[in-house]
A and B are shown apart, each in its own frame.
Chain A
C-alpha cells in the first residue's frame, strides 16, 4: 500500500469539481432530467453529505462522476473534474484507469454488490491488481492487508469466504476494503448503511471515519437519513427533483436550515424524546420528474410558495457565510 495515503492532493484545490451537471434519460413520455444542472465541489479529506428522497438525483449524479450513468441515461451537460483531470472530456476507454484508482464507490446492498461466485479476497485483490503492477501473490498480500485495515478478524480465513458466508456488516467492510485498495482521492458511498441494522450502521460509520483519518480520502456520502449524514459529514447538500436546494456546513444546515424543504425534512422525521402529538408532514408526494411544476420544483408542496415561486426557478445563492439556498423566500429574509 505504498501510495495509499500520498494521493496528489494538497494545495491543488478540490478533489472533485462538478459544474452545471445535467443527466438525462430518454423515456416514452419525453426526456427525463434526473439531474438538472448542479454544481458543487469537495475539498481533499472532507466529507460531503448528500441528502434527498428517491428520485432526487443523488445516486445518478454520483454515478456520473465515475462515468457509470446506467444507459440509456447520459450526461447531457456540464463538466466533472477530478483534481485537474476533466472526466467528462475523457474517452470512454480511458475511464477504467481512474475508476478504483482515483475515485471509488460503495453501494447500498453489500450482498448484491459483491459477485456471489468469487471469494471476497479475490474481489479485493482484483481491485488492487487492476491498477498496480505485481504478481498474484502481491495482490493477495495487498488484499489481506486491506482486510486487516477494515478490522475484519482472521483475514486469511476471510479471504477465502464467499459473500454469502459473511454478515451484512462484514460484507460492507469488505466493500470498503475493495474501494480503498488503491488509495483513491475520493470515495463515493451511496446509502452504505441503509441496508444494515442500527448497531452495525454505527460500526460502519465509525469505520469510514477511521479510514478517512488513515487514508485521507474525501467522501461523498449519500443518504436519505439526516441523522446518519449529520454524524459523518462536514458539509451537507440537500437535493430535490434533480436540483441542489441547499448547501452549507453540517453545523449551519442543522442549526439553521434555510430552504423550506430542508426545514420540512428535518421536522418530519420522528426523533427520540421529541414526542409530539402529530408529526409535521410535507404535503403531496415525491415529485414526478416528467411532470414538475413550472418555476421552483418544490413550489407545489411548499407552504411559503407564492405566484413568484411558480413563475421562475430560484438560483442557488450564497446567503452569507457559505450557506447556499435556492429559495426566493430565504433570499428575501437575508442572512
Chain B
C-alpha cells in the first residue's frame, strides 16, 4: 500500500511546496501589519490511493493549516495541491465539484461541525442533495445504510446532534464524509475531543473503513501512539516544515530527526514506571511569528551546531532508504531510541 507513490503510480494527492503566511495585527484604514505568522514554509508530500499518511506535530506546527489548504478553506501563498494530477486551484464547475466529492473532511469537534438545527438524516444526506445524487427515496436509503455502517441506529435518524453523545456525533460526521464515497478523507484530530473508551471505538471504525473501502487518509494528530496503530507513512512537522517523513515502522524503529525522537520519548507509557528526571526536551515550541534562524528545532536540540543555526537543512533521503527522508544536518544513527542520544535536557530556554 505504502509503496504506491514510489512505484511510480500516480499519487492520489500531491502537495507541492505549500507556503502559507498569515498577517497578524492591524485592522482599519491606517493600521499596519505587525508581522507574519509563518504557518507553512514549503510543505511537500504525496498520498497514494488507499494509503494513510499521518501528519504529526505539536501546536503551531502547521498540520491543521495544511489540511485546510488542501480542503481549499485557505488559499496558499504559493505551491500547489494536485488531486489525481490536476491542480485543484485550476478546477472549475463540474470538475471542481467532482474533486470536492472525492475529498472529504472530518473535524476535531464533532459538535461544532454539525448543524444543531438539522436532524441527523438531513446532516448525513445533505452532501447528496448538494451534489444532486439520487431521488429522495434513494437518498433516504443511502442515509440509513450509512448510519448502520458507522454504528448508528437508523431509528435515530430524526434526532438532533445534541441528543447524541460525543462519540456518536463523531460517527455522524464520519457518515457525512463517507456518504459521497470519497477517495480521500482528511481527518483533523478526530479523536482528541473524545473520552478514552470512545476513542478506541472511533479508531476501530476508521480502521474498518480504511480496510473495507480502500480509502486514502490524511490523518492529522498529535498522538504518536494512534499514528503507530493507523498510518502507513508518517510525516513529522515542526514550525511549518516537514522535518521527517518515513514509513511507519521505519519512523518508530529508527527515527532520524532529533525532534521525532523527542516526540516518541515524550509519550508516557502506561505501566512504564515513574518518569526519569532530566529526560524531557527543554524549551518551548517557538513562536511561528518569529521563527529561529536556520533549522527551527536548533534552540531545543542537543546536536545543534553552527550550521544548524545558519541554514535550514533540506529534506533528503536517508542512504539506502529512499522512502525515509529527513531534514537534519546531524541525523540520528540507528539505535537512537535505546541509546543515550536523547535530546537536550535542562532548564527551559526561551
Contact = CB atoms under 8 A, between A and B. Distances in A.
Contacts of A273: 228, 252
Q: Which 9 pairs across A and B sit closest by C-beta, in order of nearness?
A: A227-B268, A254-B271, A197-B58, A202-B280, A226-B270, A231-B275, A268-B200, A282-B197, A198-B266
Most buried by B among A152, A168, A264, A285: A285
Interface residues of B, number: 49
B312 interface: no
A207 to B, nearest CB: 9
A132 interface: no
Contact of B222 (A153, A168, A197, A209): A197
A230 interface: yes
B348 interface: yes
A152 B349 CA distance: 9
Given A167-B285, A202-B266, A272-B269, 19 more contacts: A53-B197, A54-B195, A170-B284, A170-B348, A198-B224, A205-B275, A209-B277, A210-B277, A230-B268, A230-B269, A255-B271, A268-B200, A269-B199, A272-B252, A272-B264, A273-B228, A273-B252, A280-B200, A281-B197
A50 to B, nearest CB: 14
Query: Chain B at the A interface: mostly helix, strand, loop or mixed?
Result: loop
A266 interface: yes
B268 A269 contact: no
B198 interface: yes
B200 A227 contact: no
Contacts of A270: 200, 203, 223, 225-226, 228-229
A152 B228 CA distance: 34
B272 A198 contact: no
A211 to B, nearest CB: 12
A54 B193 CA distance: 11
B117 interface: no
Interface string A264-288: 1110111111011111111001100
B249 to A, nearest CB: 9
Interface in A195-217: 197-203, 205-206, 209-210
Contact of B268 (A153, A224, A228): A228
Nearest to B195: A53
A154 interface: yes
Contacts of A280: 200
B207 interface: yes
Q: Which of A154, A198, A227, A232 has the most CB of B within 10 A?
A: A198
B196 interface: yes
Contacts of A254: 270-271
B112 interface: no
Nearest to A194: B192
Contacts of B285: 167, 197, 199-200
Interface string B214-252: 000000001111101100000000000000000000001
Give the one of A154, A201, A270 with max B CB within 10 A: A270
A244 to B, nearest CB: 17
A200 B285 CA distance: 9
Contacts of B199: 268-269
A122 interface: no
B200 A281 contact: yes
B201 interface: yes
B167 A285 contact: yes
Interface string A82-111: 000000000000000000000000000000
A206 B196 contact: no
Given A167-B285, A280-B200, A272 B225 contact: yes
Contacts of B222: 197-198
A220 B260 CA distance: 32
Contacts of A276: 229
Contact of A198 (B168, B228, B263, B282): B263
A264 B223 CA distance: 20
B203 A227 contact: no
A154 B224 CA distance: 33
B347 A281 contact: no
Contacts of A199: 58, 262-263, 266, 280-281, 285
A276 B226 CA distance: 11
Contacts of A282: 197, 200-201
Contact of A269 (B59, B168, B200, B263): B200
A244 B168 CA distance: 27
Nearest to A205: B275
Contacts of A170: 284, 348
Contacts of B165: 285-286
B267 interface: yes
Interface in A39-64: 53-54
Nearest to A204: B280
18 contacts: A153-B350, A169-B284, A169-B348, A199-B285, A201-B266, A202-B266, A202-B281, A203-B281, A206-B279, A209-B275, A230-B268, A232-B274, A270-B200, A273-B252, A278-B204, A278-B207, A279-B203, A285-B168
A270 B231 CA distance: 13
A232 B222 CA distance: 21
Interface string A133-151: 0000000000000000001
A205 B279 CA distance: 11
Contacts of B201: 281-282
Contacts of B280: 199, 202-203, 205-206
A154 B349 CA distance: 10
